[in-house]
Structure 1
Amino acid sequence: LDNLVIAGTPIIHDIVQNWDNVYEKGTKYSSKNYVGDIFATLGGKPDFGKSSFQVA
């Protein structure tokens, strides 16, 4: 857990300091591929799994 604090603290500070200019819109670091699960619960269309997969 010590390493988590050491590695995570600068990231948290950067997010807090640059929220308005960099992170709020979410476009600079947005993914260009599908991010989510096979159920598409986050929207979008999964690019993996069988097309015949259906939610039971």
Structure 2
Amino acid sequence: MQTVEGMVSPAMAAVVPSLVPKEALVSANALRVVLSKVTASLGPALAGLLYGLVGPV
């Protein structure tokens, strides 16, 4: 997981300046980091819940 994040994070950081206006760059980068951390913690939790409800497929 950390290996993939290590490759994707610099790429995402490089793309953000081309997608948002310069005035919103700080906010956009902060939002990108927060969403990355939230999905990194909620993803496995939701997967565990789904596994517990449905069981192995």
Q: TM-score, length-normalised on structure 1?
A: 0.31
Q: Which has the larger radius of gyration?
A: 1
Q: Larger helix proportion, structure 1 or 2?
A: 2
* Higher RCO structure, 1 or 2 (CA under 8 Å, sep 6+): 2
